[in-house]
Amino acid sequence: MKKSVVKCVILAVVLVLMLSCLPVFMHKKTGQGETVIKWNNTITKTNNHLSSESSSIDFTIPKEGEYNLYISLIPEGFDKNSVMDVDTGSLGFVTASVVENSKGDVVYTNVSGAVFLDTTIILEAGDYRLTHYYFTDEEKFFDFATTYICSEKQAEELIEFYDFPGYAENANTVFCYEFSFDKTDDFRAQTTIWVLWGILVGIVSAVLLFELLLGDGGKQRFDERQIMEQGKAFKLGFYTMLIITGILACLNFAVPNQSGNFGLYHVMGLFVSISVYLVYSIWTESYFAINQSTAKMMIFFAVVAALNLVISIVNILHGQVIVNGVPTFRILNIMCTMLFAVIFITALIRKAVNEKSLSSEDEEEDE
């Protein structure tokens, strides 16, 4: 009992120390590696003429490498969550973003209505200019699109999509611009730190919760039947993992250029394999030890599922689970919620079946 209390105290202290590092990581995220530039520009449209046809900002890349560029042009009164509701026709014009080097060579272009976006490109050290162009005339837009972005057919489709020249007259728009860039090495290092820190906090929290609920159980004991069933469960989980890995490998070779993080897909496949193992072993009553409290374990499963559910809901509301049609690592919280929910429900059903079977046997004995 005393050892269990000491363990809980040590784990609690470690968890508090790790959580206290959060402000340090948050400060690190917006450190000197990232350059942020913000400005506003008012565009007035009168009789199909704009008060300004472009807005530019200069920036310098200190060292050659791969950079993550973030470009945001959002009308005043909107934000990242509501900008997709903006009717581009109501603005009175279409915007296009262009990044040029000091020689005038275009290194990046994008046509948009009023959005925020980010891209990763390789840039040499030197001076660059980001320019936002505004178009009300379809001929000028056509020339621009065919020169910098796409073919003539695709340009015609864009013009039809934006419905030139059916735009609102006398439009007055204030754009809130934001542009930032940082080296992807720094960005990836920060992401790695966050992921590792999150994993460590999760492990310490899980161990602490496990100790609080199950720390007094002593050494777990299994009978021969349970050990045999555990072996079958391991086989099923292993074969499931092999099948999923094989399918993902075939998809990766068959469609090498498709979008998606296959490393993430493999981790999701691992969750499925673990689910197969746990469901089978719980249903065959080989997961819980003979001297283990089933009720405490079910509480543990429910608490973990509930915590991940809260995190998943927050991520979904912030639109961080799927970005540009591709799942991010935050989908793992949803997978974790599903995993612990499934094993909790399986354990609950198994317990109900056992109780019903026992009550039937008691009734037969009474007769």
State which of 183, 206, 237 marks the end of a domain: 183
* pLDDT at position 342 over 80: yes
State which of 162, 183, 204 marks the end of a domain: 183
The pLDDT, as a whole number, for residue 214 is 56
225 shares a domain with 85: no
When mean pLDDT is compared over 4-8, 21-25, 213-217, the highest value belongs to 4-8
When mean pLDDT is compared over 288-297, 306-315, 355-364, the highest value belongs to 306-315
Q: What percent of the chain has pLDDT over 70?
A: 65
Alpha carbon 199 to its chain's center:
15
177 shares a domain with 269: no
Give 178-218 pLDDT, tens digit per residue.
777 776 655 555 666 666 666 776 676 666 666 665 555 55
Residue type, 347: A
Mean pLDDT score of the chain, rounded to an integer? Answer: 75
The pLDDT, as a whole number, for residue 188 is 54
Rounded to whole angstroms, the Cα distance separating 113 from 84 reads 9
147: tokens are 């020169």
Residue 292 lies in a domain: yes
Do residues 298 and 347 lie in contact, with contact meaning Cβ atoms separated by under 8 Å?
yes
359 shares a domain with 264: yes
State which of 183, 206, 239 marks the end of a domain: 183
Rounded to whole angstroms, the Cα distance separating 174 from 42 reads 4
Residue 204 lies in a domain: no
223 shares a domain with 178: no
Give 51-81 pLDDT, tens digit per residue.
777 788 888 888 887 787 777 777 776 666 6
Give 139-155 pLDDT, tens digit per residue.
888 888 888 777 888 88
3 state SS of 160: helix
The pLDDT, as a whole number, for residue 367 is 58
235: tokens are 């086989």
Do residues 120 and 67 lie in contact, with contact meaning Cβ atoms separated by under 8 Å?
yes
Q: Mean of the pLDDT values across residues 266-284?
A: 89
Structural domain count, the chain: 2
> Higher pLDDT residue, 115 or 200?
200
The pLDDT, as a whole number, for residue 90 is 59
> Higher pLDDT residue, 359 or 231?
231
Residue 207 lies in a domain: no
Helix ranges (DSSP H) in 149-293: 152-162, 184-214, 224-254, 262-283
* pLDDT at position 22 over 60: no
DSSP letter, residue 102:
T
The pLDDT, as a whole number, for residue 240 is 93
* pLDDT at position 167 over 60: no
The pLDDT, as a whole number, for residue 86 is 61
Q: Model pTM greater than 0.85? A: no
Residue 188 lies in a domain: no
Containing structural domain, residue 323:
217-366
The pLDDT, as a whole number, for residue 32 is 41
The pLDDT, as a whole number, for residue 276 is 93
Do residues 42 and 173 lie in contact, with contact meaning Cβ atoms separated by under 8 Å?
yes
Residue 6 lies in a domain: no
53 shares a domain with 135: yes
Give 92-108 pLDDT, tens digit per residue.
667 788 888 888 888 88
Q: Dihedral angle at the C-alpha atoms of 165, 169, 174, 179, nearest 10 degrees?
A: 10
Interhelix angle 294-317/184-214, nearest 10 degrees: 150
DSSP letter, residue 124:
-
Helix ranges (DSSP H) in the chain: 2-20, 22-29, 88-91, 138-148, 152-162, 184-214, 224-254, 262-283, 294-317, 331-366
The pLDDT, as a whole number, for residue 31 is 39
Residue 65 lies in a domain: yes
CA neighbor of 41 nearest in space, from 53, 30, 62, 55: 55
